[in-house]
Structure 1
Amino acid sequence: MARYGILTSGGDCPGLNAVIRGAVLEGNAVHGQEFVGFLGGYRGLVYNEVKLLTRSAVRGISGRGGTILGTSRVGPYVEPDGGPDAIKAVLEELEVEGVVAIGGDGTMAAANRLMEDGVPMVGVPKTIDNDLEATDYTFGFSTAVEIATEAADRLRTTGDSHMRCMVLEVMGRHAGWIAMYAGIAAGAHTILIPEAPESLEQICEWVVSVKDRRRAPLVIVAEGFTLPEMADAFSDRGLDEFNRPRLGGIGDILAPLIEERTGITTRATTLGHIQRGGVPTAFDRVLGTRFGQAISDVLADGDWGKMVALRGTEIVRVPFSDAVGHTKNVPLGFYNGARALFG
Structure 2
Amino acid sequence: MGKRIGLLTSGGDCAGLNAVIRAVVRRAHHGYDFDVVGIRKGTHGLLARPVEVEELKPEHDDTALLRLGGTVLGTTNKGDPFAFPMPDGSLKDRSEEIVEGFHALDLDALIGVGGDGSLKILSRLALQGGIPFVGIPKTIDNDVARTERAVGYTTAVATATEALDRLQPTAASHDRVMVLELMGRDAGHIAIAAGVAGGADVVLIPEITWTLPTVARHVKDLRVAGRNFALVVAAEAAQPAGVDSDVIQAAGGVGHWLAVELGRVTGAETRVTVLGHVQRGGVPNAEDRLLGSALGVHAVDLVAQGRTGRMVAWWNREVIDVPLEEVVAVPSVVDPHGPLVRTARGLGICLGDTL
Q: TM-score range by the shorter chain?
A: over 0.9
Change (3 A) 1:231 1:326: farther
Q: 1:336, 1:110 → 2: CA distance?
A: 35
Change (3 A) 1:141 1:261: same
Contact 1:91 1:97 in 2 (8 A): no
1:110 is the counterpart of 2:121: yes
Any idea what the Cα deviations from partners look like across 1:281-340, whole Å, max 9, x if unmatched? 000000000010010001101112111011111111111111114121211124244134
2:284 to 263, 280, 284: 280
Q: 2:226, 2:271 → 1: CA distance?
A: 18
Q: 2:249, 2:43 → 1: CA distance?
A: 28
Q: Which position in structure 2 is the counterpart of 1:243?
A: none
Q: Aligned to 1:45, what secondary structure does the other structure show? A: helix
1:148 is the counterpart of 2:160: yes
Q: 1:158, 1:297 → 2: CA distance?
A: 50
Contact 2:248 2:257 in 1 (8 A): no
1:58 to 56, 61, 70: 61
Count of residues in Structure 1 that have an aligned counterpart in Structure 2 = 333
Q: Aligned to 2:66, what secondary structure does the other structure show? A: coil
CA drift of 1:277 comes to 0.5
Q: 2:349 is matched by which residue type in structure 1? A: F
Contact 1:8 1:67 in 2 (8 A): yes
Contact 2:159 2:279 in 1 (8 A): yes
1:291 is the counterpart of 2:295: yes
Q: 2:218, 2:12 → 1: CA distance?
A: 35
Any idea what the Cα deviations from partners look like across 1:117-147, whole Å, max 9, x if unmatched? 1222211111001111211101111100111
CA drift of 1:231 comes to 5.1
What is the RMSD of the two structures over their aligned residues, measured on CA atoms? Answer: 1.9
Residues 39-48 or 328-337, more deviating = 328-337
CA drift of 1:188 comes to 0.6
Change (3 A) 1:206 1:232: same
1:228 is the counterpart of 2:231: no
Residues 155-164 or 55-64, more deviating = 55-64
CA drift of 1:19 comes to 0.5
Change (3 A) 1:206 1:235: closer
After TM superposition, the structure 1 = structure 2 runs for residues 187-198 of structure 1, keeping only pairs within 5 Å, are 187-198=199-210
Contact 1:226 1:233 in 2 (8 A): no
Q: Which position in structure 1 is the counterpart of 2:217?
A: 205
1:335 is the counterpart of 2:338: no
CA drift of 1:157 comes to 0.6
Change (3 A) 1:209 1:304: same
Gaps of 5+ in 1: 238-246
Q: 1:234, 1:296 → 2: CA distance?
A: 48
Residues 276-285 or 221-230, more deviating = 221-230
After TM superposition, the structure 1 = structure 2 runs for residues 30-179 of structure 1, keeping only pairs within 5 Å, are 30-47=31-48, 48-60=51-63, 61-73=65-77, 74-77=79-82, 78=84, 82-84=94-96, 86-117=97-128, 118-179=130-191
1:300 is the counterpart of 2:304: yes
Any idea what the Cα deviations from partners look like across 1:202-244, whole Å, max 9, x if unmatched? 101111111223321111110010111135487638xxxxxxx
Which TM-score applies when normalising by structure 2? Answer: 0.89
Gaps of 5+ in 2: 87-91, 351-355
Change (3 A) 1:152 1:254: same
Contact 1:224 1:233 in 2 (8 A): no
Q: Aligned to 1:62, what secondary structure does the other structure show? A: helix
Any idea what the Cα deviations from partners look like across 1:146-169, whole Å, max 9, x if unmatched? 110111111111000011111111
What is the identity percentage for the equivalent residue pairs of Structure 1 and Structure 2? 40
Q: Which position in structure 2 is the counterpart of 1:18?
A: 19
Contact 1:223 1:233 in 2 (8 A): no
Q: Aligned to 1:196, what secondary structure does the other structure show? A: coil
Contact 1:19 1:288 in 2 (8 A): yes
Contact 1:224 1:234 in 2 (8 A): no
Any idea what the Cα deviations from partners look like across 1:87-126, whole Å, max 9, x if unmatched? 4443343221121111011111112111221222211111
Q: Which position in structure 1 is the counterpart of 2:275?
A: 271
